[in-house]
Amino acid sequence: MIRVAFIFCAIFINVFALPALDKEINNLDWRVVGGSTAPDGAYPYQVSIQDSETNSHGCGGSIIKPTIILTAAHCVVGISSSKFSVVVGINKLDEEGTAYKVKDVRSHDNYNPFTVENDIAILKLSSPIEYNSKVAPVELEESEVDDGTEAALSGWGSTSWPGSSPNDLQHIILKTISNSDCKASHPSKQIFDSQICTFTKRGEGSCYGDSGGPLVSEKSKKQIGIVSWGRPCGIGYPDVFTKVAAFKEWIKIHSH
């Protein structure tokens, strides 16, 4: 359903090219695999980060304040703010939602494109988002999350690999696992304390187009993760997310 890809998206490929990576890292991607179409308005904090010229979906993100969008650094690093627009209040990509211009992009200074550490960024909008029943912020988790926590992943990532992005917003319920179990499944990759992993079963997970999107605890309804990377797609490996709680101070500083 949602798949995480380390490559941003084809719409920006001519604007921003990642450094040469080893084959495994280069195949990392983001999408929702094994999920289903989300009910209309079920995820009011979900946004589509689009190419401002073509209106093509690139990455997901979440509303955390009227002028602040939380997303992944790999989605936006090295790209001018003028290249982005943020669309809110839609379940279908072909719907006419409300688009907001981006005036500033702030990626973590220590973001590492090779290890995908500190994969977090904030978009500052030119004007405040108007909230309604289908557009609202998500609260952020500031504490550690127990292993086995059920969490909702939503996004417009590919629903199969290979495959194209769906028009309808997809969602799936995943479970967090320990970082030690995550490391055991990704022995050639580094899993940092500032990351959180999920795994349910083969055939379920994130994929291309889900990058930057929110992972939200079913119990607390707080965002616990940001879609970062994984192996394409839903093939039996844990997906890796930036742990929101690990960056609570960074978020507070850069969201003012």
Quote the CA–CA distance of 80 and 16 in Å, as a whole number.
Answer: 10
Residues β-bridged to residue 222? 139
Where on the phi/psi map is residue 142: left (φ > 0), alpha (ψ -120 to 50), or beta?
Answer: alpha
Q: Which of 48, 51, 108, 119 is catalytic?
A: 119
Q: Which of 211, 217, 228, 239 is catalytic?
A: 211
Query: Is 143 one of the catalytic residues?
Result: no
Listed in sequence order, the residues at least 6 apart from 144 whose beta carbon sits closer than 8 Å to its beta carbon are 245
Quote the CA–CA distance of 74 and 138 in Å, as a whole number.
Answer: 21
Closest CA to 79 of 57, 105, 54: 105
Amino acid at 49: I
Listed in sequence order, the residues at least 6 apart from 13 whose beta carbon sits closer than 8 Å to its beta carbon are 7
**DSSP 3-state helix, strand, coil percentages of the chain (rounded to 5)?**
10, 35, 50
Q: Which of 29, 51, 57, 74 is catalytic?
A: 74
Query: Is 104 one of the catalytic residues?
Result: no
H-run or E-run covering 33: none
Query: Is 146 one of the catalytic residues?
Result: no
| DSSP string for 204-232 | -B-BTT-TT-EEEETTT-EEEEEEEE-ST
- Sign of the alpha-carbon torsion through 172, 178, 180, 181: negative
Contact between residue 189 and residue 57 where contact means Cβ atoms under 8 Å apart = no
H-run or E-run covering 28: none
Quote the CA–CA distance of 126 and 241 in Å, as a whole number.
Answer: 28
Would you name the residues annotated as active-site residues?
A: 74, 119, 211
